[in-house]
Amino acid sequence: MIRFLLRRLGTMAVTLLIISALVFFIIKLPPGDFLSNLIHELRAQNDNASIAKAEFLIKQYGLDRPAWEQYLIWIGAMPGPNGFSGLLQGDWGWSFEYDKPVVDVVGDALWLTLLVNLAAVIFIHLVAIPIAIYSATRQYSIGDYLATFIGYLGLATPSFLLALILLYYLNRWFGISIGGLYDAKYAGEPWTWEKIRSLLSHLIVPTIVIGLAGTASMIRRMRANLLDELGKQYYVTAKAKGLGPTKALLKYPFRMSLNPFIADIGNLLPHLVSGSVLVSLVLSLPTVGPILLSALKNQDQFLAGFILMFVAVLTVVGMLVSDLLLAWIDPRIRMGGGR
């Protein structure tokens, strides 16, 4: 087991190394970078003081060096102008666009993103699983058709549109949450009880909007999985034992049908960050989605690189977590045998 874990951690490190190289070189692929573009602009305006500052920054971050050296400095495998200072050392770099360290730019946004999306994921499971169980056990009933229909609606409605509609009506009827994740007056304030309350009430709309599309597809997949399992012989055995229908269902076929969802955790985690860009823009949520978008557009390389690496780490860690969870709940995988 420990050998397996060590091997997995080793391959994870290699994977991340390869991803970091890809991320860096793809960001560098278009000619120029944020600073040299800036310098061009400033030259046109003859603003010498700003040019000097930009040139200082170029030196500071070694942007005049060859790309591969820049890469090694960025990940912290080669001494830059300030010695070893890169991702490995916990220095996430400088955002030229915001003229702040990446840490300060991303900071709160990162955790709020995770919070919003985690809420959405919990919402998806809480809503989808009961509905899926209902429609699988009553296949082709009116309720099943209704759930299917609503599910398709959820799947087909563009979430940003839904966001706008909900935003309007919730505000009109209940007077809550116009964009953002907390009231504007709390921005930059320390976390107080009121701020958290405000955050929670602002969470409702994004949770529903982001969650609804996921709920629909989850219902469809869960229903299909469960229907497969309901036809299996061991479920008949459980019923023939005299087990009540609910207990028999939850203990046997339902547990079997969870496997694909646990295997999916690895895909779910990165989705938490990058999956809701459009909705975040519409609802003006302070999440990393919009930040990433503008960083990529402006070639703000350290900011974009960091966010992408963060997503990559989430993916790899998610895969590991789902593998370990699968081994934990499914003895067939744990013991490496069986069919």
Partner 1 sequence: MRYDEGLLEEPMEPPLLSIRQLTVDFHTDTGDFRAVDGLTFDVPKGRTVALVGESGSGKSVTAQSILQILSKKARISGGSIIFNDPTLPTSVDIAALKPEGEAVHQLRGGRIAMIFQEPMTSLSPLHTIGDQISEALLIHADVSKAKALQRTMEVLARVGFPDPKRALRNYPFELSGGLRQRAMIAMALITRPALLIADEPTTALDVTTQAQILDLIKEIQAETGMSVLLITHDLGVVANIADEVVVMYRGRIMEAGSREEIFRQAQHPYLQALMRAVPRFAMAENERLTPIREVRSTALARAHAPERPQPQGPILKAEGLTKCFALRSGRFFGKPRMVRAVNGVDLALPVGRTLGLVGESGCGKTTVSKMIMRALAPDAGCVLFDDGTGPKDVHGLEGKELTAYRRSVQFIFQDPFSSLNPRMTVYEILTEPLRIHDIGTSDARYERVKQLLDMVGLDQRSLRRYPHSFSGGQRQRLGIARALALEPRVLLCDEPVSALDVSVQAQVLNLLKDLQSVLGLSYLFVSHNLAVVDYIADTIAVMCRGYIVEEAPKSSLFRNPVHPYTQALLAAVPDPDLDRPLDFAQLRADRFSNPAKWPEPFRIPDGEFGVMEEIEPGHKVRLGRAKAQEAA
Residue 331 in the binding site for partner 1 (CB under 8 A)? yes
Please state the closest distance from residue 162 (CB atom) to partner 1, in A.
36
The residue among 118 and 329 lying less far from partner 1, judged by its C-beta, is 329
Q: Do 144 and 238 meet the contact criterion of CB atoms below 8 Å apart?
A: no
User: Which window, 19-27, 153-161, 302-310, 331-339, contacts partner 1 (CB under 8 A)?
Assistant: 331-339
For partner 1 (CB under 8 A), the number of binding residues is 31
Residue 243 in the binding site for partner 1 (CB under 8 A)? yes
Q: Is the Cα dihedral 42, 48, 49, 52 positive or negative? A: positive
With a CB cutoff of 8 Å and minimum separation 6, the contacts of 306 are 87, 92, 93, 102, 106
The residue among 84 and 234 lying less far from partner 1, judged by its C-beta, is 234
The SS3 assignment for 131 reads helix
Q: What angle do CA 98, 99, 103 make, to 5 degrees?
A: 75
Site string for partner 1, 252-271 (x = CB under 8 A): x--xx---------------
The residue among 97 and 229 lying less far from partner 1, judged by its C-beta, is 229
Residue 142 in the binding site for partner 1 (CB under 8 A)? no
Please state the closest distance from residue 255 (CB atom) to partner 1, in A.
6
Among 59, 185, 251, 297, binds partner 1 (CB under 8 A): 251
Among 30, 83, 188, 336, binds partner 1 (CB under 8 A): 336
What is Dmax (Cα atoms) for the chain?
87
Q: Between residue 4 and residue 43, which ones bind partner 1 under the rule CB under 8 A?
A: 4
Please state the closest distance from residue 137 (CB atom) to partner 1, in A.
10
Residue 49 in the binding site for partner 1 (CB under 8 A)? no
DSSP string, 74-113: HHTSS-BTTBS-SGGGT---EETTTTEEHHHHHHHHHHHH
Q: Which of 290, 291, 313 lies closest to 303, judged by CA?
A: 291
Please state the closest distance from residue 7 (CB atom) to partner 1, in A.
10
Q: Between residue 202 and residue 241, which ones bind partner 1 under the rule CB under 8 A?
A: 232-234, 236-241
Q: For residue 285, what are its two tokens?
A: 């949520």
The residue among 1 and 49 lying less far from partner 1, judged by its C-beta, is 1
- 295/235 Cα distance (integer angstroms): 53
Residue 172 in the binding site for partner 1 (CB under 8 A)? no
Instruction: Please name the residue ranges forming H helices in 175-232.
Output: 193-230
- 282/297 Cα distance (integer angstroms): 18
DSSP 252: T
Interface residues with partner 1 (CB under 8 A)?
1, 3-4, 139, 232-234, 236-245, 251-252, 255-256, 329-332, 334-339
